[in-house]
Amino acid sequence: MVTRAGLDALLNPRSFALIGASDKSTFSLLVHGNLDAAGHRERTFLVNPRSPEVHGRATYPSCVAIGMQVDLAFVMVPAARAADAIKDAAAAGARAVMVLSSGYAETGPAGRARQEELVELADSLGVAMLGPNVLGLVNVTAGIPAMALSDPPTEAGGVALISQSGASCGAMKDFASMAGVNLSHVITVGNEAMVTVAHLLDHLVDDDSVRAVAIFMEAIREPALFAAAARRAARQGKAIVVLKAGRSELAARAAASHTGALVGDDRVVDAVFADLGVIRVDTIEDMLVTAGIAATTGRIERPGIGVVSISGGACDIIADLAEGVGAEIPELTAATTATVAEKMPDFGHAHNPLDVTGAALIDTDLWEHAIEAVGNDESIGTVVVVNSLPWREDGRPFYGQKYVDAIGRGMKASAAPALYVTQVPQPIGTQTREVLRSGGVPHVVPGMRAAVEGIQRVVRWSRDVARAGREPEQVERLEVRKGRYSEVDARGLLEQAGVPVVPALHVHSAAEAEKAAASFDGPVAMKIVSADVAHKSDIGGVRLGVTREHAGAVHDEIVAACAAADPDAVLDGVLVSPMRAPATELLVGVTRSDEWGPVLAVAFGGVLVEVLDDAALAPLPVDEARVRQLLTSLRGAAVLDGVRGRPAADLDSVCRAVVAVGRLAERLGNDLESLEVNPLRVHGSEVEALDGLVLWRE
Amino acid sequence: MVTRAGLDALLNPRSFALIGASDKSTFSLLVHGNLDAAGHRERTFLVNPRSPEVHGRATYPSCVAIGMQVDLAFVMVPAARAADAIKDAAAAGARAVMVLSSGYAETGPAGRARQEELVELADSLGVAMLGPNVLGLVNVTAGIPAMALSDPPTEAGGVALISQSGASCGAMKDFASMAGVNLSHVITVGNEAMVTVAHLLDHLVDDDSVRAVAIFMEAIREPALFAAAARRAARQGKAIVVLKAGRSELAARAAASHTGALVGDDRVVDAVFADLGVIRVDTIEDMLVTAGIAATTGRIERPGIGVVSISGGACDIIADLAEGVGAEIPELTAATTATVAEKMPDFGHAHNPLDVTGAALIDTDLWEHAIEAVGNDESIGTVVVVNSLPWREDGRPFYGQKYVDAIGRGMKASAAPALYVTQVPQPIGTQTREVLRSGGVPHVVPGMRAAVEGIQRVVRWSRDVARAGREPEQVERLEVRKGRYSEVDARGLLEQAGVPVVPALHVHSAAEAEKAAASFDGPVAMKIVSADVAHKSDIGGVRLGVTREHAGAVHDEIVAACAAADPDAVLDGVLVSPMRAPATELLVGVTRSDEWGPVLAVAFGGVLVEVLDDAALAPLPVDEARVRQLLTSLRGAAVLDGVRGRPAADLDSVCRAVVAVGRLAERLGNDLESLEVNPLRVHGSEVEALDGLVLWRE
């Protein structure tokens, strides 16, 4: 059990013990050096029974010997002595320990066993353990660099960074510093034996200093807690940006080999993140830049981006980049255009993206005026101001401060949040930060690609976050028979759940078959009914386009063929239903993920599914709006608009049917392996399931 | 006419005249300051008849008054005096001038007329003119900063940079400097009134200091020269990397408004670039990083990338990034694996991507050993070494030099070119350059995404560059009648060109129609024949699935319907051909681009074309291998493998037919507006045109 008190001790300790402190240990040198430099020397105690002096300071033989409350202990002793160290720390009042040493689960089964012993011990002592195999954390807001990495960040901001990788965390915090993304926390989690990313996320979401969370992870260890924390973050308007490795087979294998954790089905992870409003990215820089943007803008009210720049080339590049990611650069209203045009030179054009032209070199107010006008346009949700900034930290005076000042004034007068964007990625060093601060510029984004892509991610998140924040409704359980289901059984469930199903008559003789066929217009489809037959066509159990006069004979042929092909199968007659004209076909299926519960998939049937290999997934429950998003996200979605003379699909009816399938799957509970409608036939407003499959876990 | 002598004077001037030099002119201050700082003071002359002293130096009233040969003159006087300035410069021996002043084509028709006058003048004087509205150029290799931008680059390298945008060029050269991409030239072209990007490219391709060219452009002003230079670059193994704005409607409009140049049909530009082996990118940083990689690696022999890193997280991220862009990270051979494993710690895994583990912190040779082994693996074409580098230019000692040294030794022993890659984008400052130089590391790439994407671009270029370097074969012209063509006329041309065409009989009476229908198995298709009817179906001119007994009546119905619908059309009977079973349908069309000549397009017909809106384009000529690439690049390409029980397409036959269509279009010459086969029916090895269309320019 990881308690709130334990996490508090981990994230906000007032006193520190370094168990295994040594002049030869890089960990010890770094942790001590960092705490010392941050002013914690008096409350940092070095524990080493064999050296009276370490780092030039007197040591203690144990934590208990310090004679003072220790909040957080760093365990840097070999595995054999780790348990004693934890006990000693707990005895001195520590509610949290970090085990920096390696030699645990990452080395194989023996190490895993050692690790589990430590978890049990920590648990029994009521201590929260971070690690093992961890580099520690920095609470930047509180000025606590409890970390074995050099140059811990000192300028606090709104982005909390959590990393499963210690080795990459150095690069992450360095990039954040270079890119002007100020952090509230930097936390590595090592082997996540006890305190996981989910625990930390859950804790940080309620921290007022945190306005966005950036996470690098390979596996998600506590899915339910992670999901609950993500929903709470969504309700608070705090974006979570995750770089989750394991999209590729190769990365999944690599991650498994060095963390021992399975990365999970990547398409399901994508679906779950979309459901939770978690923003997924592919690089460290996108993770941090996007979190930095979200921390600055919060929820963005409209998708439209207004661009103001002094370079025509930059305007062109940014327009192309925006189109590439589906970001909107809308035309300005007539009123805005008129306001902008007032101050523009004759050869300029008051459009979006707006090139203020070289005239702004002389008339600096043109910057302010343009940003204010664009930022108050009713179609604009964010303003991007592209301009240069100094990047050489060489102390030379910056001739462009007056432009930054004018930009800062414009940003203040803009209703939409505004970001200062450099044309290319560049470091935001001490001098540049001073330039921005003095100009009153709230946030800078390094490079146009990072800006456009990052803003677009935050725009999509803003659109989805209300849904993500809703707690899923609990459904009433439907108690039904489990075991093997025939198509007739499956049809029964679907009909009961309100899914439209093609009419059918269940017959047990040639005579009944003929009569059934005669009751429908035109030819019929005939299918064997058996809970024991999974692939009916393969054994001659399906005949299509049967005319009334042949129905009796075909009945007997089907039964005979199936009996011959699978003598053990219990056959239960034949299903007779009317043939339907060719139409758009959907696959609608629900499968169960061990981590995330039931997951709905929709895809096009027929040629499209084979050619496009495309399906859209979402964890249940889904509502009609969500199903509509899924359908329109499919690569072949244009087929729903009606092609080759077919009518456009009645999406409301389709969505209702899909929601009913999802709802049914939820109500059937955890023993359901899968529920599938294949195909769901769609022809204008005609929507019906032509076949259904229910599988229970054995 | 831009002569070689003129370009030489522009790029390698030995003496300079600043016409309109003034202490109040930023241009003058920057150009003079740059030339002075680079040691050209003695050969830099200031021309101003009204001020005896400028920039603290004596001036001359004219170029002629200098009494010495002037190679290059900077024209910084207002438009009204520009012509006299150019004459004066020419009289002093200048073969090249740069017109820095603005007020020309970018301001409207009057400015355009002024600009054209200058071009005529320069042409008549045998002077090459860069600009107007230009910032100049830096020949970094020769140490000539003839440019009105601050901080011109001084460390020469193999990448020539050409930019149509002056305002963005500052950001470009700064990024190159930060990213460790060393430049041979930085050239802005302004309005490109006389010297164009194509002229410069043509010149630079033969410069031994240039190993790759990076270009930012909005329009391509001399397509034929550009194409010829690109083919020569391909033969020399010099990559051209272009950031061409105007992919989006918005950017195309923006570019047109500030340059007056049309950006061209973007899909055609893509196709032409692919044909010429020109690498296209979307950002300034991708342009420069990719050119930097190509200048270092040259042509890469194999697609496989070997990754060596000390961070497991970095390995995972890079594997995902590689999959995202289709880059290969192949498994190592058994021999390499064994070699690597020899020195790896027990808990490590000798895979690609290779995590050398924390053991390499102690055993630095592990780096060297691993890079050497991976770089000599037979499946590896490039080695990527991910490791940190210092980025703060604060003079602190760098503890990791020994790792860089070991990496440098490994790179030297690697057969495949090797690149040092930082985990995140970071500036490569003076200190870091020294670290790399001292370690013998040839090139560094800032960030894993830039590296993976950049290498993959160079890999694809390496694959295509041999084809791109071939001069297109000239085809023999086919002399045929022009004007309006009926389907019968079009069929005739196609058949003559060796395109397989569905059999058909051309009939002129009901009796002939019946006889024709009887000569084919099964029902027939009947279509009106008329050179005047573009859309046969719309006026009742097409009937499908006609049985033999109805053929006579249908003939008369078709003729009557068309005559009634379009009384002016000259009708020429009916075409009768056998119905074909449903199969895969392709559209094969050739249209003419004013800039690039005939362009072939292939796409899938039927539902797929409507749903996917996807076509593959290539300028003619194409060979079968190229057509195969086009077809397999289509989004629905899986349909060619055979879906829903259809046989796989015989791609050889399909490609032969498409090549024949392309060849025919070429042979028909420049008056051809378009040639289309729609559909080309493909069913296994059955490949035939079911309809054809020939349109001539009016």
Q: What ipTM was estimated for this complex? A: 0.92
The CA angle A87-A92-A96, to the nearest 5 degrees, is 70
**Once rounded to an integer, what is the mean pLDDT over residues B656-662?**
98
User: Which residue has 């830099």 as its token pair?
Assistant: B44
Quick check: A349 and B424 CB within 8 A? no
Quick check: B644 and A351 CB within 8 A? no
The CA angle A136-A140-A144, to the nearest 5 degrees, is 60
The pairing of beta strand A672-683 with beta strand A212-217: unpaired
Residue in B with minimal Cα distance to A584? B607
* Alpha carbon of B346: minimum distance to chain A alpha carbons (Å): 9
Residues in B closer than 8 angstroms to A425, CB to CB, are 175, 285, 425
Residues 78 through 97 of chain B touching chain A, CB cutoff 8 Å: none
- Residue B640's alpha-carbon distances to A427, B162, B583, in angstroms, are 49, 42, 10
Q: Which two tokens stand for residue B99?
A: 């017109």
The span from the CA of B433 to the CA of A310, in Å, is 32
B258 inside 8 A of chain A by CB: yes
Cβ-contact B471, B230 below 8 angstroms: no
Handedness of CA B148, B154, B158, B159 (dihedral sign): negative
Best A396, A611, A613, A634 residue to mutate vs chain B (most B CBs within 10 Å): A611
Best B163, B168, B181, B288 residue to mutate vs chain A (most A CBs within 10 Å): B168
Cβ-contact A416, A339 below 8 angstroms: no
Q: How confident is the model at residue B610 (pLDDT cuts 50, 70, 90)?
A: low
Cβ-contact A192, A164 below 8 angstroms: yes
DSSP state for residue B593 in the 8-state scheme: E
Which percentage of chain B shows pLDDT scores above 90?
84
Q: Which of A375, A473, A481, A469 is nearest to A420 (CA)?
A: A375
Taking the C-alpha atoms of A560, A562, A567 and A568 in order, what is their torsion angle to the nearest 10 degrees?
-140
Residue B125: half-sphere exposure toward Cβ, Cα within 13 Å: 24
Q: Which of A93, A119, A134, A99 is nearest to A5 (CA)?
A: A93
Residues 130 through 189 of chain A touching chain B, CB cutoff 8 Å: 151, 163-165, 167-168, 170-172, 174-175, 178
Concatenate the DSSP letters of all residues of A173-192 into one string.
HHHHHHHT--EEEEEE-TT-
> How much is the pLDDT for A609?
67
**Once rounded to an integer, what is the mean pLDDT over residues B637-659?**
90
Q: Which two tokens stand for residue A423?
A: 């044309």
Average pLDDT, chain B: 94
A641 inside 8 A of chain B by CB: no
**B156-174: pLDDT as tens digits:** 999 999 999 988 999 999 9
The span from the CA of A500 to the CA of A654, in Å, is 10
Quick check: B171 and A388 CB within 8 A? yes
The span from the CA of B277 to the CA of B240, in Å, is 8
**pLDDT beyond 80 at B645:** no
Quick check: B171 and A422 CB within 8 A? yes
> How much is the pLDDT for B89?
98
**pLDDT beyond 80 at B607:** no
> How much is the pLDDT for A346?
78
Q: Which of A619, A180, A61 is nearest to A430 (CA)?
A: A180
Q: How confident is the model at residue B41 (pLDDT cuts 50, 70, 90)?
A: very high
**B663-675: pLDDT as tens digits:** 999 999 999 999 9
- Residue A522's alpha-carbon distances to A419, A427, B187, in angstroms, are 65, 73, 75
Q: How confident is the model at residue B255 (pLDDT cuts 50, 70, 90)?
A: low
**pLDDT beyond 60 at B261:** no
Quick check: B353 and A246 CB within 8 A? no
For residue B437, give every residue at least 6 positions away whose Cβ sits within 8 Å of its Cβ, in sequence order, or none.
none
> How much is the pLDDT for A262?
59
Residues in B closer than 8 angstroms to A282, CB to CB, are 317, 320-321, 324, 449
> How much is the pLDDT for A594?
87
Residue in B with minimal Cα distance to A266? B320
> How much is the pLDDT for B264?
66
Burial class (CB in 10 A: 0-12, 13-18, 19+), B651: middle
Residues in B closer than 8 angstroms to A259, CB to CB, are 312
Residues 600 through 629 of chain B touching chain A, CB cutoff 8 Å: 606-608, 610-613
DSSP state for residue A347 in the 8-state scheme: T
For residue B469, give every residue at least 6 positions away whose Cβ sits within 8 Å of its Cβ, in sequence order, or none.
B231, B232, B234, B235, B277
- Of B18 and A249, more confident: B18
Residues 261 through 300 of chain B touching chain A, CB cutoff 8 Å: 282-285
The structure's pTM equals: 0.94
- Of B333 and B259, more confident: B333
Residue in A with minimal Cα distance to B178? A426
The span from the CA of A372 to the CA of A97, in Å, is 51
Quick check: B251 and A323 CB within 8 A? yes
Specify the range with the lowest mean pLDDT, choosing from B252-266, B401-415, B501-515: B252-266
Q: What is the mean pLDDT of each successive set of 10 residues along chain A, which is 698 residues long?
A: 94 97 96 98 97 97 96 96 98 97 89 96 97 96 97 96 93 96 97 97 97 96 96 97 90 65 78 97 97 97 97 93 96 95 85 91 94 98 96 86 97 98 94 95 96 98 94 90 94 96 97 96 95 88 94 96 93 96 91 91 79 86 96 90 84 97 96 93 96 91
- Residue A612's alpha-carbon distances to A56, A608, B654, in angstroms, are 67, 6, 22
> How much is the pLDDT for A200?
98
For residue B103, give every residue at least 6 positions away whose Cβ sits within 8 Å of its Cβ, in sequence order, or none.
B78, B79, B111, B114, B132, B133
> How much is the pLDDT for A349?
84
The 3-state DSSP class for residue A41 equals helix
Quick check: B314 and A255 CB within 8 A? no
Across B625-636, b (16+ Cβ under 10 Å) vs e yields ebbbbbbeebbb
Of A314, A391, A610, the CB nearest to B178: A391
Residue in A with minimal Cα distance to B448? A283
> How much is the pLDDT for B609?
67
> How much is the pLDDT for A167?
85
Q: What is the CA radius of gyration of chain B?
A: 31
Quick check: A313 and B245 CB within 8 A? yes
Quick check: B320 and A246 CB within 8 A? yes
The 3-state DSSP class for residue B539 equals helix
The pairing of beta strand A212-217 with beta strand A239-244: parallel
Residues in B closer than 8 angstroms to A355, CB to CB, are 254, 258
- Residue A92's alpha-carbon distances to A69, A75, A89, B117, in angstroms, are 6, 14, 5, 89
Taking the C-alpha atoms of B661, B667, B673 and B675 in order, what is their torsion angle to the nearest 10 degrees?
-20
Secondary structure E strands in B119-256: 128-130, 136-139, 144-147, 156-163, 183-188, 212-217, 239-244
The span from the CA of A290 to the CA of A456, in Å, is 9
Of A151, A251, A610, the CB nearest to B638: A610
A582 inside 8 A of chain B by CB: no
> How much is the pLDDT for A249?
82
**Once rounded to an integer, what is the mean pLDDT over residues B15-33?**
97
Residue A177: half-sphere exposure toward Cβ, Cα within 13 Å: 20
Best B250, B289, B328 residue to mutate vs chain A (most A CBs within 10 Å): B250
